Amino acid sequence: MKVLVTGGAGFIGSHTVVDLQTSGYEVVVLDNFVNSNRQVLNNIEKITGKRVDFVEGDVRNKTDLDTVFKRYPGIEAVIHFAAYKAVGESVQSPLAYYENNIAGTVYLLQAMKAASLKKIVFSSSCTVYGEVDATLLPITENAPVVKANSPYGNTKKIGEELLLDASKAEGFNVVSLRYFNPIGAHDTALIGELPLGIPNNLVPFITQTAIGKRKELTVFGNDYPTRDGSCIRDYIHVMDLANAHVKAIDYLHTSNENFSVFNIGTGQGNTVLEVVTAFENVTGTILNYKIGPRRAGDVVQIYASCQKAEQELGWKAERTLENALETAWKWEQYLATSPFMD
Ligand code: WQD
């Protein structure tokens, strides 16, 4: 079976392409490399031994979308990763976020409709739950979706709404995966996360500090009402997250549901300071960090109930936080010695 992966050279996209290929799927990637590197496709081939078919193009460009579906007949499902994802940047440039994440999704659905293709997996986020009462944790998919606190978060909320409407009116079959905090890299360390500039996310900031690219990590707040005062998140290994997409594609072929959402996390919450300590333990390094003020917009704590994914998708996270941190560190070391970057 052939699957189109938009944003397939990106962090989660590239790991998903590897899992799809090793699970026997043929993969076509559409990527504009705006937040990724074309060398990623070569490294995917090194891992799987299979060349990735790809079109360099943009989901906002109807001609690019038509090219994909004409050049690769037989695509049976789409996994739609291509989107902007930086919360702070979205506050500065909301129109770019709505154009890429919302208009891009609309154009993709229109091109799919023209190609008589109805199955789509969408990248959503736990950000749709906002700040939740501790009594609701671990959070289930039945928790209310709240007003987003950034344009980025709003694009995920609206993305789900437009897919729900399209599933009702146009017969699309949709699986929306609400990711918690993806971290880590492939075991080979040939692919991983490639942040542009100064990382916003915790784990790339940790690995860049450990390797000497950044002077020190700032832990954003230690006065939250949690066990050590730092925020709690559900950190999920990117290879586990990738596998959820393969399971979602299988589900689209067997289920009668037109629109489903699933939490994709581990079910475990860890504080920022626990992640720092785990990183030091698995890598044998001492991390230079300080406690700083809270970061605007951070929720205190969130972690997933993944029972629905386990029961209906037959998916469950298998890897540990330690393994995720170990592979993230291996990847940072690989980047330091390869001409991959910069
Ligand atoms: C994790 C924790 C920070 C950096 C964001 C998006 C979300 C999702 C994933 C993505 C927080 C703390 C971080 C640092 C720190 N979407 N931290 N020092 O904010 O949970 O989620 O990314 O594409 O929608 O909002 O992830 O990795 O930024 O932060 O102390 O230098 O680490 O305060 O508690 P977040 P994160």
Q: Per residue in 257-307, pLDDT tens?
A: 999 999 999 999 999 999 999 999 999 999 999 999 999 999 999 999 999
Q: Whose CA is nearest to atom 1 of ligand 1?
A: 202
- What atom in ligand 1 is closest to the CA of residue 203? 27
Give the nearest ligand 1 atom to 156 CA. Answer: 24
Give me the pLDDT at residue 19, please.
98
- Does the pLDDT of residue 338 top 90, yes or no? no
What is the rounded CA–CA span in Å between residue 41 and residue 48?
11
- Across-strand partners of 236? 182
How many whole angstroms from 112 Cα to the centroid of ligand 1? 33
Which ligand 1 atom is the nearest neighbour of the CA of 219?
A: 30
pLDDT score of 316 more than 60: yes
Confirm or reject: Cβ of 201 under 6 Å from ligand 1: yes
Report residue 140's pLDDT band, with 50, 70 and 90 as the boundaries: very high
| 272 alpha carbon – ligand 1 mean position (Å) | 9
- 251 catalytic? Reply is no
Mean pLDDT for 231-258 is 98
C-alpha 307 – ligand 1 centre gap (Å)? 24
CA of 203 to the centre of ligand 1 (A): 9
Which residue's CA is the closest to the ligand 1 atom numbered 14?
202
Whether 295 lines ligand 1, by a CB cut-off of 6 Å, is yes
The catalytic position among 72, 152, 303, 334 is: 152
Q: What number of CA atoms fall less than 13 Å from residue 195's CA on the CB side?
A: 19
State the Rg of the chain over Cα. 19
Are 221 and 289 in contact, with CB atoms under 8 Å apart?
Answer: no
202 C-alpha to center of ligand 1: Å? Answer: 6
The size of the chain, in residues, is 342
Q: In the predicted model, is pLDDT for residue 177 greater than 70?
A: yes
Q: In 83-211, which ranges are continuous DSSP H helix?
A: 87-92, 94-97, 104-114, 151-170, 202-211
CB 52 within 8 A of CB 27: yes
63 Cβ contact list (under 8 Å, min separation 6):
none
Ligand 1 pocket check for 220: Cβ under 6 Å: yes
Backbone phi, psi, residue 271, to 5°: -80, 165
Q: Name the residue with the closest Cα to ligand 1, atom 10.
A: 85
Distances (CA, A) of 44 to 1, 54, 174: 19, 12, 27
Best mutation site among 181, 287, 300 for ligand 1, i.e. most ligand atoms within 8 A of its Cβ?
Answer: 181
Ligand 1 pocket member 50 (CB < 6 A): no
Mean per-residue pLDDT over the chain, rounded: 97
Nearest to 91 by CA among 151, 43, 136, 147: 151
Which pLDDT belongs to residue 341? 57
Ligand 1 lined by 16 (C-beta under 6 Å): no
Q: List, for residues 56-92, the tens digit of each pLDDT value.
A: 999 999 999 999 999 999 999 999 999 999 999 999 9
Q: Are 3 and 75 in contact (CB under 8 A)?
A: yes
**Ligand 1 atom index nearest CA of 295:** 33
Task: Report if pTM > 0.85.
Answer: yes
In this prediction, residues 178-184 reach a mean pLDDT of 98
Q: State how far the Cα of 57 lies from the Cα of 20, in Å rounded to an integer.
A: 21
CATH classification of 2-186+236-265, choosing from 3.40.50.720, 1.10.510.10, 3.40.50.740, 3.50.50.60? 3.40.50.720
Report which ligand 1 atom has the smallest distance to the Cα of 217: 31
Question: Which residues have CB under 8 Å from 188's CB, separation 6+?
Answer: 46, 47
CA distance 19 to 239: 8
Pairing of β 232-233 and β 270-271: antiparallel
- The gap from C-alpha 197 to its chain's centroid, in whole angstroms, comes to 19
Residue 342 has pLDDT above 80, yes or no: no
Q: What is the mean pLDDT of residues 38-59?
A: 97
The sign of the dihedral angle between the CA atoms of 193, 101, 65, 181 is positive
pLDDT at 340 over 80: no
Q: According to the model, what pLDDT value does residue 269 have?
A: 98
